[in-house]
Structure 1
Amino acid sequence: MQTHNNREILKKVKKYKKLDDILTYLDPEVANVISKIPDRYKNQVEEIRMRIGKPLMIFLNGEDYFINSNGQLRKTNIDTMIISSKNVYKTFRILSNYSVYAFEEEIKNGFITIKGGHRVGVSGKAVYGKNGLETIKKISSLNIRVAREIKGVSKKVIPYIIKQNNRIYNTLIVSPPQCGKTTLLRDIVRNISNGISKDNFYGVKVGIVDERSEIANMYNGEPQNDVGVRTDVLDGCRKYDGILMLIRAMSPNVIATDEIGDENDIKAIHEALKAGVNIIATIHGENVDDIKTKPIMKKIINEKVFERIIVLDNSKGVGTIKDIIDGSKYNSLLNKGI
Structure 2
Amino acid sequence: MDKNGTETFNSILEYISPELSKKLWKVPDYIKKNAEEIRLRKEKPLMIFGGGTEYFLMNEGSVSKKEKGALITTHEDLVRTFQLISRYSVYAFEEEMRSGFITLKGGHRVGIAGKTVYGIKGIESIRDISSLNMRIGREKKGISDNIMKFIIIPPDSIFNTLIVSPPQCGKTTLLRDMIRNISNGMKEYDFRGLKVGLVDERSEIGGVYNGVAQNDLGIRTDILDGCLKSDGITILIRAMSPQVVATDELGDYKDINAVHEALKAGVKLISTVHGKDIEDLLSKKSLSWIIEEKIFERIIFLDNSKGVGTVRDIVEGYSFNSVLNREKY
TM-score (norm 1): 0.94
2:45 equivalent to 1:52: no
SS of equivalent to 2:301: strand
Report the CA distance shift for 1:29/1:325 in structure 2 as closer, same or farther (over 3 A): same
Give the alignment of 1:230-245 within 5 angstroms: 230-245=220-235
Question: Which AA in structure 1 matches 2:228?
Answer: R
Give me the whole-angstrom Cα distance separating, in 1, the residues matched to 2:215 and 2:153.
26
Give me the whole-angstrom Cα distance separating, in 2, the residues matched to 1:283 and 1:45.
23
Give me the whole-angstrom Cα distance separating, in 2, the residues matched to 1:303 and 1:180.
26
Kept after mapping to 1: 8 A contact 2:154/2:189: no
Give the alignment of 1:1-338 within 5 angstroms: 16-337=6-327
Question: Which AA in structure 1 matches 2:111?
Answer: G
Give me the whole-angstrom Cα distance separating, in 2, the residues matched to 1:43 and 1:315.
19
Give me the whole-angstrom Cα distance separating, in 2, the residues matched to 1:166 and 1:15.
35
Kept after mapping to 1: 8 A contact 2:51/2:307: no
Give me the whole-angstrom Cα distance separating, in 2, the residues matched to 1:317 and 1:191.
22
Give me the whole-angstrom Cα distance separating, in 2, the residues matched to 1:15 and 1:227.
20
Question: Which AA in structure 2 matches 1:68?
Answer: M
How far the C-alpha of 1:176 sits from its partner, in A, is 0.6
Structure 1 gaps of 5+ residues are: 1-13
Question: Which AA in structure 1 matches 2:52?
Answer: G
Give me the whole-angstrom Cα distance separating, in 1, the residues matched to 2:81 and 2:125.
18
Question: For structure 1, which segment, 259-268 or 16-25, has the greater mean C-alpha deviation from structure 2 after superposition?
Answer: 16-25
Give me the whole-angstrom Cα distance separating, in 1, the residues matched to 2:294 and 2:5.
48
SS of equivalent to 1:298: helix
Kept after mapping to 2: 8 A contact 1:115/1:219: yes
Give me the whole-angstrom Cα distance separating, in 2, the residues matched to 1:47 and 1:314.
17
How far the C-alpha of 1:156 sits from its partner, in A, is 2.4
How far the C-alpha of 1:15 sits from its partner, in A, is 8.4
Give me the whole-angstrom Cα distance separating, in 1, the residues matched to 2:37 and 2:94.
23
Kept after mapping to 2: 8 A contact 1:174/1:288: no
Question: Which AA in structure 2 matches 1:87?
Answer: D
Kept after mapping to 2: 8 A contact 1:66/1:80: yes
Kept after mapping to 2: 8 A contact 1:174/1:285: yes
Kept after mapping to 2: 8 A contact 1:21/1:115: no
Give me the whole-angstrom Cα distance separating, in 1, the residues matched to 2:150 and 2:9.
35
Deviation readout 1:200-239 (Å, 9 max, x if unpaired): 0010000100001111110000000000000000000000
Kept after mapping to 2: 8 A contact 1:125/1:137: yes
Structure 2 gaps of 5+ residues are: none
Q: Percentage identity across aligned positions?
A: 56
Give me the whole-angstrom Cα distance separating, in 2, the residues matched to 1:23 and 1:124.
22
Paired positions, count: 325
SS of equivalent to 1:97: coil
Give me the whole-angstrom Cα distance separating, in 2, the residues matched to 1:64 and 1:240.
36
Kept after mapping to 1: 8 A contact 2:111/2:132: yes
Q: Which residue number in structure 2 is paired with residue 7 of structure 1?
A: none
Question: For structure 1, which segment, 292-301 or 260-269, has the greater mean C-alpha deviation from structure 2 after superposition?
Answer: 292-301
Deviation readout 1:257-299 (Å, 9 max, x if unpaired): 0000211111111111111100001000001111010122112
Give me the whole-angstrom Cα distance separating, in 2, the residues matched to 1:50 and 1:291.
33
Question: For structure 1, which segment, 43-52 or 240-249, has the greater mean C-alpha deviation from structure 2 after superposition?
Answer: 43-52
How far the C-alpha of 1:108 sits from its partner, in A, is 1.3
Report the CA distance shift for 1:313/1:40 in structure 2 as closer, same or farther (over 3 A): closer
SS of equivalent to 2:283: coil
TM-score (norm 2): 0.97
Q: Which residue number in structure 2 is paired with residue 8 of structure 1?
A: none
Give me the whole-angstrom Cα distance separating, in 1, the residues matched to 2:291 and 2:42.
44
Give me the whole-angstrom Cα distance separating, in 2, the residues matched to 1:295 and 1:38.
45
Q: Alpha carbon RMSD of aligned pairs, Å?
A: 1.3
SS of equivalent to 1:87: helix
Where does structure 1 differ by over 3 angstroms across 4 or more consecutive aligned residues?
Answer: none
Q: Which residue number in structure 2 is paired with residue 11 of structure 1?
A: none
